[in-house]
């Protein structure tokens, strides 16, 4: 009987060891998957940064403004661009920092905290980009109209045919809203998909009890 009891105790010890090993394997897998997801967020944000810079270089707004006697606002637009790109670079740095933190994380608690932190930063990054696009669109349209030599004709048209002018403005607003919706959909498709996978890892980590 004593030998049987000893055998049972030994079997229970081995069973606990197998369970612990399984949890460790799961943690390693989730750790690797989370690190890969955050790495992709970092890479995609870099590609997006280069894309927007390329778009801005395609449009020579400086020449247009100088030709229409609005060179006085060129400096302000450059300052706006520098500030905007600097903030985006800060986001990209935070993505890289979170990637390094998750890659070197050695505890479940730290990994879970890093995942939640990454989700918040990505969400803030998306809303910032959408907000800046909206602001930039309205500023760009306003400058385009006021810098156009036909701006006086527009004012006269607004005075004589306010309904037609308001409809034109409404159409312009709808177009901007449509572009915002498309960009939001792209962000949701790319970053949203990555964040959902990252949060799924977080929920699995909560089940692990070392």
> Is pLDDT of 4 > 50?
no
Tell whether the model's pLDDT for residue 21 goes beyond 70. Answer: no
pLDDT at 124 over 70: yes
Q: Is the entire prediction scored with pTM above 0.85?
A: no
Q: What's the pLDDT score for residue 155?
A: 56
Average pLDDT, integer, range 30-41: 91
Mean pLDDT of 41-70: 78
Helix (H) or strand (E) holding 38: helix 2-58
CB distance 198 to 37 below 8 Å: yes
Q: Residue 88 above 60 pLDDT?
A: yes
Q: What pLDDT, on the 0 to 100 scale, is given for residue 60?
A: 63
Domain tally, the chain: 1
Contact (Cβ atoms closer than 8 angstroms) between residue 41 and residue 125: no
Q: What is the pLDDT, as a whole number, of residue 144?
A: 67
Residue 126 CB neighbour total at 10 angstroms: 19
| pLDDT for 160 | 62
Residue 81 confidence class, pLDDT cut points 50, 70, 90: confident
Which region among 61-65, 149-153, 161-165, 206-210 has the lowest average model confidence (pLDDT)?
A: 149-153
CA of 30: how far to CAs of 99, 113, 123, 150, 165, in Å?
A: 14, 14, 22, 61, 57
Domain membership of residue 58 as a residue range: 2-207
């Amino acid at each position: 009987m004593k030998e049987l009891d000893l055998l049972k105790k030994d079997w229970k010890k081995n069973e606990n060891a197998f369970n612990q090993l399984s949890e460790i394997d799961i943690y390693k897998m989730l750790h690797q998957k989370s690190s890969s997801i955050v790495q992709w967020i970092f890479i995609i944000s870099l590609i997006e940064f280069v894309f927007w810079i390329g778009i801005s270089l395609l449009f020579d707004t400086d020449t247009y403004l100088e030709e229409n006697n609005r060179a006085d606002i060129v400096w302000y637009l450059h300052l706006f661009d520098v500030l905007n790109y600097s903030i985006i670079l800060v986001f990209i740095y935070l993505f890289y920092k979170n990637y390094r933190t998750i890659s070197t994380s050695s505890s479940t608690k730290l990994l879970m905290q890093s995942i939640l932190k990454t989700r918040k930063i990505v969400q803030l990054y998306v809303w910032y980009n959408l907000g800046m696009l909206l602001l930039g669109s309205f500023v760009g349209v306003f400058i385009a109209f006021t810098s156009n030599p036909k701006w006086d004709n527009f004012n006269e048209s607004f005075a004589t045919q306010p309904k037609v002018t308001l409809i034109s403005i409404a159409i312009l607003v709808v177009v901007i809203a449509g572009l915002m919706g498309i960009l939001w959909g792209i962000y949701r498709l790319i970053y949203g998909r990555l964040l959902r996978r990252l949060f799924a890892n977080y929920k699995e980590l909560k089940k692990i009890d070392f």
